[in-house]
Structures are given as C-alpha cells and as structure tokens.
Amino acid sequence: MSATEGRTGSGSGRAAVFDVDGTLVDTNHLHVVTWWEAFRQAGHRVPTHAIHRAIGLGSGDLVAHLLGDDRAREEVEDLETAHKVLYAEYFDRLSALPDAGRLLRRLAGDGWAVVLATSAGGQELSALRRAMDADDAIAATASADDVEEGKPAPEPVEHALELVGIPAEQAVFVGDTVWDMRAGSRAGVRCVALLCGGIPRGDLEEAGAVAVFDDPADLLASLSRSPLR
C-alpha cells in the first residue's frame, strides 16, 4: 500500500490515527543523533536536547525551527539529504516499541479503522512498517508529504481521516510529541500521548493530550480506561 492509499469508508465507525516515529517504533533518539551529525557536518552546533524537542516536525520545518527560517533552500535540502543518508543506516535495525503490533491488531479487531499519519515516505516508511509487522491491521497510511503543512498544522490528521471517511468526532489520535498533540487538537480529534518518545507528561498535556500512557504496551493494557475503549 502506498503512503496515500487507503480504504475509504462511509463516515461511520471509528478511527484510531497513529503517529509512527517514537509512538510505535523506537526511532526518536536515532533521529536526534543523525540530525545532530547532519548539522555538525554542515558546520552547525545544535544541542541534542533542542533537536529532541523538534523531532516530530517535518524535515524542512525542523531545520527552520532550529536554525531559523532564513536559510537558503539549497542548504535546507543538503541538510535533509545528509540526515536521510545517516538515518538510512539504521533501517534494517529499527525496532517496534513494546506491543505496538498487538495494539494495532487489537484496535482493528475491536472495529477501529487504524490509520498511520507520518512524515516518513519511501524506503523509510517501508522500514518502519517492517519493524511494526502489523500491515494486516492498518487501513490506510497518510504522509505529511501529501499535505501543504505538516504537524503541528492539523492537515496530516485531517488527511488521515479523509482516507477512511471518518469525522474527527469519531476519532482518536495517538502520538508522542507536542507537535502531534497540537495537530490532533487543531483537527478536533481527542489526543492520547505516549511517553516513549521522551517528552515530559506536562508538556504533552499542555499541548492537548487528554490521556497519557507510558508506551503502546501500557495503552494496550489500559484500553478500558482510555479514549480508545
């Protein structure tokens, strides 16, 4: 299934929209290290803690957030390419977070349309899906590359819901960054946050999380008391 392919619905049912990096697959710190190295190679000294808090933004927005929005497009593209090359070295070693696949299958079995909303595409998205090994539970996959604005704009979440034909009031968005929470909240979707991406609980709640769990395993064990019940 391509990044934008989905099984459109009739507007009935429920949708569980998931971010992928840091939410279902343990990649946030790999992104931090590879972005740090990409910046270093280009002569920029950017602290890892600042990079960590920017993870979840699309590549261009991440560069603008950390270096300013006055960078030449060529410089931004060079940084994006360097990060992609460095990160690709980990593709065959990516690992899903605890019970990520089981969580998606449980929700699909309970009648939820499971949708991925990610800025990853191409080989990177394929590597993430291999790590999760849960394609049978995924109804559709939406990439931020298919919208004009990535998170924290609401468009990635709105596009994910369009793919399955389910309105925001019948959906829940699960993510791990403040950018996820802001995007979901602006789309009118209830937001659930996971701590496995390394962002503090208070920051996630302030950004719009209505419930917070440790990781996919904790959410799976707590479904009966979550917005995904």
Sheet containing strand 209-213, edge to edge, reads 138-143, 112-118, 14-18, 171-175, 190-194, 209-213
**Which among 71, 89, 107 is the end of a domain?**
89
At residue 37, φ and ψ (nearest 5 deg) are -70, -40
Whether 10 shows a pLDDT value over 50: the answer reads no
Examine the domain organization and report whether 76 and 163 are in the same domain.
Answer: no
Q: Please tell me whether residues 71 and 84 are part of one structural domain.
A: yes
Residues 151, 109: one domain?
yes
Tokens of 227: 């917005």
Task: Mark out the alpha helices in the chain (DSSP H runs).
Answer: 28-41, 48-54, 59-67, 73-88, 100-109, 122-132, 155-164, 178-186, 201-206, 216-221
Q: Which of 89, 108, 136 corresponds to the end of one domain?
A: 89
Considering its fold, how many domains does the chain have in total?
2
Mean pLDDT of the chain: 94
Q: Within its chain, how far is the Cα of 158 from the centroid?
A: 14
Task: Tell me, yes or no, whether 221 lies in a domain.
Answer: yes
Q: Contact at 8 Å (CB) between 192 and 210?
A: yes
Task: Render pLDDT for 140-170 as a digit per residue (tens, 0 to 9).
Answer: 999 867 888 889 999 999 999 999 999 999 9
Residues 195 and 98 in one domain: yes
This prediction has a pTM of 0.94
Q: Say yes or no: 23 and 49 in one domain.
A: no
Same-domain status, 129 and 193? yes
**In whole angstroms, what is the distance from residue 193 CA to residue 180 CA?**
8
CATH code, domain with 82: 1.10.150
**Domain residue limits at 62:** 28-89
pLDDT digits (tens, 9 = 90+) for 178-220: 999 999 999 999 999 999 999 999 999 999 999 999 999 999 9
**Percent of the residues in the chain that have a pLDDT greater than 70, as a whole number:** 94
Domain assignment present for residue 1? The answer is no
The reply to whether 8 falls in a domain is: no
